[in-house]
Amino acid sequence: MTTQSTLAQPHSEDYSRIEPLPDPPREPDAVRRKSLSTLDNTLGPHFVAFSDVLITGLIYVLIDEDDARELAPDFIFARQVGDPERVIRRNGYVISEAGKPPDLVLEVGSRSTGRRNYTVKRAGYAALGIGEYWRFDPSGGDYHDRHLAGDTLVDGEYVPVEIAVEPDGRRWGYSEVLELELWWEEGTLRFQDPANRQFLLTPEEERAARKLPRLVPELRKLAWPSWKRN
């Protein structure tokens, strides 16, 4: 999921000289891949107007080239990145080159990574200075210690974000970085804008919404008796 929410502004750097970092190991988990695809395709359009926003994932986050940590978040969000294209070409987020840590990272739970996500990685992302760390478990807590969890960095340590639980079992918490609510809804990760209480549309919902205006005239014809149309 090495994608960018918007095209970077033209830059004079010769990207051909950049040495790409190796890809992190890939894990065969269809549910996790689906969650990541939905995540990227939902948030990308929401931030498309911001040229300094980077949305990417499944690449290493390092302090510098000599950093031996192997931390590769499923999802990375960063504002005010001077040259997002350089991060893409680098195939890794090198903090010393980007000038700042990512603002937010997120991990999707899986059978092989679940426990590591809320132990080793939680400590690692705090040490890297990442402002928010979110964890989403599509299984509902089988892989992580809970359905949905978030942390915000305070004085170098993570403090849990308050997660509300609705009567129907849905859970949600507010991200100050994204200025959106993250919702766990029947194993799906959704984003809601608190300003209008509307969920960001998934790609499937976006396609359905585009089709609806074309279908309305046909539906009206079907609902209106033929003898009244004549």
Assigned domain for 214 exists: no
Q: Would you mind telling me the total number of residues written for the chain in this entry?
A: 230
Assigned domain for 96 exists: yes
Assigned domain for 177 exists: yes
Assigned domain for 217 exists: no
Model pLDDT, residue 115:
85
Domain span including residue 114:
15-200
Per-residue pLDDT tens digits for 111-167: 887 888 999 999 999 999 999 999 999 999 898 889 999 999 999 999 999 999 999
Per-residue pLDDT tens digits for 3-47: 444 434 444 566 767 888 887 877 656 666 777 787 888 998 899
Chain centroid to Cα 163, Å, comes to 18
Tally of domains in the chain:
1
Assigned domain for 213 exists: no
The letter for the amino acid at 39 is L
Tokens linked to 22: 């190796």
Instruction: Considering only residues 60 and 38, tell me which one the structure prediction assigns the higher pLDDT.
Output: 60
Alpha-carbon distance 61 to 59, whole Å? 7
The letter for the amino acid at 225 is P
Assigned domain for 209 exists: no
pTM, entire model: 0.82
Per-residue pLDDT tens digits for 200-230: 988 777 777 777 666 556 655 555 555 444 5
Assigned domain for 183 exists: yes
The CATH number of the domain holding residue 21 is 3.90.1570.20
